[in-house]
Chain A
């Protein structure tokens, strides 16, 4: 079984500043994928970024980047130059084959 832990129920960041959301996971699989999804008030799940576990290089998507520490089973998300539209629930997920598990989520507030 795979488990995901997001230890920060809520986070706040000032507009244009940088914020890091934490995520740790546990899996017995050697081949898996890691994801960050964003869920705004509309509740539509939006993929933010993904990382293949076999890749050492940290994934980057514009203002979003991850710090993937495989040995520590840590997968944090860094949001740079935060924008008001970044305000949402952020879910970390680990997936192996058809089994995707989500963390409890972190609610991010962006202050103007």
Chain B
């Protein structure tokens, strides 16, 4: 029973480059979430996928951020033209039939 996995664990990029972050949810979980955790801050909700429904994108901070979920499983969060303020830990979580979310270890993004 694997948990939620994320890759890469660390990503260093230059300002202006695009990055892709990957999340593999727990098998069978229909809901998938992305959060951002900035230094000294709490968790900021970004986007939520539930089954085949249109995703809830209400937390995305700008149009440089997008996410997709292919085949109802793996999800990719893409940040275009990265800025230094995008530096943070990006956390993915999945949820099955209860209201408990299970988190991955996160991807630490550093934008130089």
Pair from one complex: no
